[in-house]
């Protein structure tokens, strides 16, 4: 989700403007133009949502953003949903959507540490910490440009305090050289965990730039976790179009088209990354081991917009309406309306599975295959029932094919902003929350596979 941004540091590795060429190329465009149009999004329902978070002083300036699902190794009913609340810290929910724990965004354990802003969260399973195997929640902290780590109690929802911070002291900044740089806000943003055998890495994006980094997780004998060996790669900020022109997404002056939503297909080491105003990428890991490929583009990819400093918005440079510009645009995709936001991978049998991407601009979710050319498989929206509101403007999402509580064939959890249900208190700050959706409902609507035998969790392989 956008916020004020400033100029980026020089890149370690910069990819050139991307040419959209036939699909036989590694840089191939998916070729999903606007004729013929896609099928209308399917509709699935939810009747479970977490308590409302309020971005005001009384609510601890909590603004929901990104969830992760921790599956209990023995009892699905004791599984947990973790969610970031930015300045409001972390929330832990049970399989019914009830809050179990609220963790403040305490100052980072460093001499110059300040109170945090937790943006994204993911899970590292079975790290050897302090001589024991521990499942760890990994969080990006924007106000300290670093990662924070939380041990997960194996008792899960039965534990008095399921999460405990175990971040090692004096960890280096991920993107900035010093605290003055951190204060520019171009810091750790989107996050996913990649586990490659006994090694675990965090994949992190930088707010306001096109940069992606990996950092090896360093689990220590003293019971803390840090990171080392940070590598960085810049994705393109401009794109060569088939008509011979070069297109650059419209952003605030001095800012690049950023990425946030990330997920790794743990079986193949493939990273899927959403560049908010561009589309969905796939990148082989480690970074630089192969060329990135643009899987799909947002609907206004290629539309020339102009930035208005008074409104701080972008609109078509020719003065037409946004709808008209998109309809006449031959280069955009059909399924993603900017911003392209949350991303997660549903792991099916073998190497099959699905990439789910939240299309924030039209309140829908696009689904792609993990195999071959990542063909699109349709889209859906989430409608509320039994007093639960519809899901709007989703940012982060998480999916698992494992049983979680009553969701015996898998669970999708999605961010909801704004929260608009009857439980929202009038006069409060911005209201956000998270909704639970049965995966088999999505699968039934789109003709997808349901399989509880595989997954991104190495404990179940």
Domains of the chain: 31-298+333-460 (2.120.10.30)
Residues in the chain: 461
pLDDT the model gives residue 461: 59
pLDDT the model gives residue 460: 66
- Answer whether residue 28 shows pLDDT above 60: no
CA distances from 267 to 197, 347, 350, 371 (A): 10, 9, 9, 12
- Answer whether residue 35 shows pLDDT above 80: no
**Does 15 or 128 have the greater pLDDT score?**
128
Averaged pLDDT of the chain: 91
pLDDT the model gives residue 15: 47
- The count of other CB atoms within 10 Å of the CB of residue 68 is 25
What band does 39 get if pLDDT is binned at 50, 70 and 90? Answer: confident
CA distances from 182 to 115, 146, 210, 268 (A): 13, 10, 17, 34
131-185 confidence digits (pLDDT tens): 999 999 999 999 999 999 999 999 999 999 999 999 999 999 999 999 999 999 9
Q: Of the candidates 44, 5, 64, which has an alpha carbon nearest to the alpha carbon of residue 396? A: 64
pLDDT the model gives residue 18: 47
Using CA atoms, how far apart are residues 205 and 207, in angstroms rounded to an integer? 6
265-278 confidence digits (pLDDT tens): 999 999 999 999 99
- Answer whether residue 246 shows pLDDT above 80: yes
- Answer whether residue 24 shows pLDDT above 70: no
**Residues of the chain above pLDDT 70, percent:** 91
* Lowest pLDDT segment from 24-28, 110-114, 221-225: 24-28
Residue 274 contacts residue 357 (beta carbons within 8 Å): yes
What band does 32 get if pLDDT is binned at 50, 70 and 90? Answer: very low
pLDDT the model gives residue 191: 98
Residue 41 burial (C-beta neighbours within 10 Å; 0-12, 13-18, 19+): buried
- Answer whether residue 286 shows pLDDT above 70: yes
pTM: 0.93
Using CA atoms, how far apart are residues 137 and 145, in angstroms rounded to an integer? 17
- Answer whether residue 4 shows pLDDT above 50: no
pLDDT the model gives residue 453: 82
- The pair of structure tokens assigned to 410 is 């898998």
pLDDT the model gives residue 261: 98
**Does 17 or 341 have the greater pLDDT score?**
341
- The pair of structure tokens assigned to 277 is 């105003």
pLDDT the model gives residue 281: 98
Contacts of 132 (CB under 8 A, 6+ apart): none
Beta bridge partners of 152: 163
- The pair of structure tokens assigned to 64 is 């929901």
Three-state SS for the chain is CCCCCCCCCCCCCECCCEECCCCCCCCCCCCCCCCCCCCCCEEEEECEECCCEEECCCCCCCCCCCEEEECCCCCHHHCEEEEECECCCEEEECCCCCEEEEECCCCCCCCCCCCCCEEEEEEEEEEEECCEEEEEEEEEECCCCEEEEEEECCCHHHCCCCEEECECCCCCCCCCCCHHHHCCCCCEEEEEEEEECCEEEEEEEECCCCEEEEEEEEECCCCCEEEEEEEEEECCCCEECCCCCEECCCCCCCCCCCEEEEEEECCCCEEEEEECCCEEEEEECCCCCCCCEEEEEECCCCCCEEEECCCCEEEECCCCCHHHHHHCCCCCCCCECCCEEEEEEEECCCCCEEEEEEEHHHCEEEEEECCCCCCEEEEEEEEECCCCCCCCCCCCEEEECCCECCECCCEEEEEECCCCCCCCCCCCCEEEEEEEEEHHHHHHHHCCCCCCCCCCCHHHC
pLDDT the model gives residue 396: 97
Using CA atoms, how far apart are residues 266 and 345, in angstroms rounded to an integer? 9
Beta bridge partners of 338: none
Cα separation of the two ends of the chain:
34
pLDDT the model gives residue 374: 98
- Answer whether residue 391 shows pLDDT above 70: yes
Residue 194 contacts residue 285 (beta carbons within 8 Å): yes
Pairing relation of β-strands 293-297 and 305-308? unpaired
Using CA atoms, how far apart are residues 183 and 87, in angstroms rounded to an integer? 15
Residue 161 contacts residue 150 (beta carbons within 8 Å): no
Backbone angles phi, psi at 248, to 5 degrees: -120, 125
Residue 296 contacts residue 366 (beta carbons within 8 Å): yes
Residue 175 contacts residue 149 (beta carbons within 8 Å): no
Average pLDDT over residues 297-318: 94
Average pLDDT over residues 350-378: 96
pLDDT the model gives residue 22: 28
Using CA atoms, how far apart are residues 286 and 203, in angstroms rounded to an integer? 10
177-224 confidence digits (pLDDT tens): 999 999 999 999 999 999 999 999 999 999 999 999 999 999 999 999
52-71 confidence digits (pLDDT tens): 999 999 999 999 999 999 99
Using CA atoms, how far apart are residues 279 and 366, in angstroms rounded to an integer? 11
Q: What angle do CA 457, 197, 268 make, to 5 degrees?
A: 70
What band does 408 get if pLDDT is binned at 50, 70 and 90? Answer: very high
- Answer whether residue 16 shows pLDDT above 70: no
Average pLDDT over residues 112-119: 98
């Amino acid at each position: 989700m956008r916020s004020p941004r400033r100029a980026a540091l020089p890149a370690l590795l910069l990819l050139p403007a991307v040419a959209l060429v036939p699909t036989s190329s590694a840089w191939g465009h998916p070729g999903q133009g606007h004729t013929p149009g896609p099928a209308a999004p399917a509709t699935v329902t939810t009747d479970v949502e977490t308590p409302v978070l309020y971005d005001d002083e009384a609510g601890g300036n909590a603004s929901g953003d990104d969830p992760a699902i921790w599956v209990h190794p023995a009892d699905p009913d004791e599984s947990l949903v973790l969610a970031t609340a930015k300045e409001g810290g972390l929330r832990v929910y049970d399989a019914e959507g009830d809050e179990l724990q609220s963790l403040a965004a305490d100052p980072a354990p460093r001499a110059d540490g300040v109170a945090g802003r937790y943006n994204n969260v993911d899970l590292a399973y079975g790290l050897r910490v302090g001589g024991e195997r521990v499942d760890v929640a990994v969080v990006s902290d924007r106000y300290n440009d670093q990662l924070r780590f939380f041990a997960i109690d194996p008792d899960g929802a039965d534990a008095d305090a399921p999460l405990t911070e175990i971040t090692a002291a004096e960890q280096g900044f991920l993107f900035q050289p010093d605290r003055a740089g951190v204060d520019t806000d171009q810091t750790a943003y989107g996050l996913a965990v990649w586990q490659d055998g006994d090694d675990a890495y965090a994949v992190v994006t930088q707010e306001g730039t096109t940069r992606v980094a990996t950092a090896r997780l360093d689990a220590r004998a003293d019971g803390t976790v840090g990171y080392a060996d940070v590598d960085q790669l810049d994705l393109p900020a401009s794109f060569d179009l088939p008509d011979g022109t070069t297109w650059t997404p419209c952003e605030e002056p001095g800012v690049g088209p950023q990425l946030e939503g990330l997920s790794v297909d743990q079986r193949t080491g493939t990273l899927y990354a959403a560049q908010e105003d561009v589309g969905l990428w796939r990148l082989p890991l480690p970074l630089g081991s192969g060329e990135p490929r643009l899987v799909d583009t947002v609907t206004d990819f290629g539309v020339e917009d102009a930035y208005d400093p008074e409104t701080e918005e972008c609109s078509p440079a020719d003065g037409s309406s946004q709808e008209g510009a998109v309809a006449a645009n031959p280069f955009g995709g059909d399924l993603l309306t900017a911003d392209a936001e949350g991303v997660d991978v549903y792991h099916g049998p073998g190497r099959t599975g699905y990439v789910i991407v939240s299309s924030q601009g039209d309140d829908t979710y696009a689904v792609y295959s993990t195999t071959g050319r990542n063909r699109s498989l349709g889209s859906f929206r989430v409608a509320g029932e039994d007093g639960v509101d519809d899901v709007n403007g989703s940012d982060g999402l998480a999916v698992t094919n494992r049983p979680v509580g009553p969701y015996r064939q898998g669970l999708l959890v999605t961010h909801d902003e704004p929260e608009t249900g009857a439980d929202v208190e009038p006069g409060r700050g911005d209201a956000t929350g998270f909704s639970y959706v049965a995966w088999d409902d999505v699968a039934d609507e789109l003709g997808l596979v349901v399989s509880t035998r595989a997954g991104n969790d190495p404990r179940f392989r």
